[in-house]
Amino acid sequence: MSPRVLGLIALVATVIIDQSDKVWMLFVYRISEHQPVHVGPFLDLIVAWNPGVSYSLLRATTDVERYLLLALAFTAIVLLFVWLWRARSRTTAFALGLIIGGAIGNAYDRWAYGAVADFFRFHVGDLSWYVFNLADVAIVAGVALLLLESLFPTAFARPKRHEDPVLSD
C-alpha cells in the first residue's frame, strides 16, 4: 500500500471515528444529562465545550475570532495535506493522516457548534488537568509518531527489497 493511500485511510478513519463518537456522546447518550460518568479513578466522561485550541488557548468568543481559528485550522490542514501527499514513508503518511483527521474533526465542531466538544477528563481528586476528545488523541498520536520516526529513523526505515540478479546467457 502506498504512503498516500495509508495516510488517506488514517485521515478518513479518524474523522469518522471522532465524529461518530461526538454524535453518539452528544445526541444519543446525551452526556450532558448524565455527567460526570466515572469510568475509573482518574477518568470521567463529561461534556466540555472548548472555544479555543489546546488548553483553551486563543479563546474565540466572537464569530470573527471563531472564523479566524477556522482559517488557521484550514491553512494548517492544507499544508499538512501537501506534506502527506509528498510523504515517502508510510509512518509519516499515517501520522499525518491522524493529525489531519483530528484537525478536521475539531474544525468541524468549531464550525457546526461554535466550539470543540471534549469528553474525556483526566483527574486526580479535584485536580483536573485535561479534557480531550478522540480527535485530540489522533493528533497527539500522529505527532508522537513523527517525533519517534525523526528520533529513531532506522527503527522506522522500510527494509530494502533485494532482487535477484537477472541471469543472462
What does the pLDDT read at residue 20? 98
Give percent of the chain with pLDDT exceeding 90: 73
CA angle 82, 53, 99 (to 5 degrees): 30
Kindly report whether the global pTM for this prediction surpasses the value 0.85. Answer: yes
Contacts of 48 (CB under 8 A, 6+ apart): 117, 118, 119, 121, 131
pLDDT digits (tens, 9 = 90+) for 2-52: 999 999 999 999 999 999 999 999 999 999 999 999 999 999 999 999 987
Could you give the CA distance from residue 29 to residue 107 in angstroms, rounded to a whole number?
23
C-beta separation of 19 from 106 below 8 A: no
pLDDT digits (tens, 9 = 90+) for 46-98: 999 998 776 555 667 788 888 999 999 999 999 999 999 999 999 999 999 99
Hey, which residues are catalytic here?
A: 118, 136
What does the pLDDT read at residue 102? 98
What does the pLDDT read at residue 58? 62
What does the pLDDT read at residue 47? 96
What does the pLDDT read at residue 155? 81
- pLDDT grade, residue 160 (50/70/90)? low
Phi, psi of 48 (to 5 degrees): -135, 125
C-beta separation of 95 from 142 below 8 A: yes
pLDDT digits (tens, 9 = 90+) for 97-156: 999 999 999 999 999 999 999 999 999 988 887 899 999 999 999 999 999 999 998 887
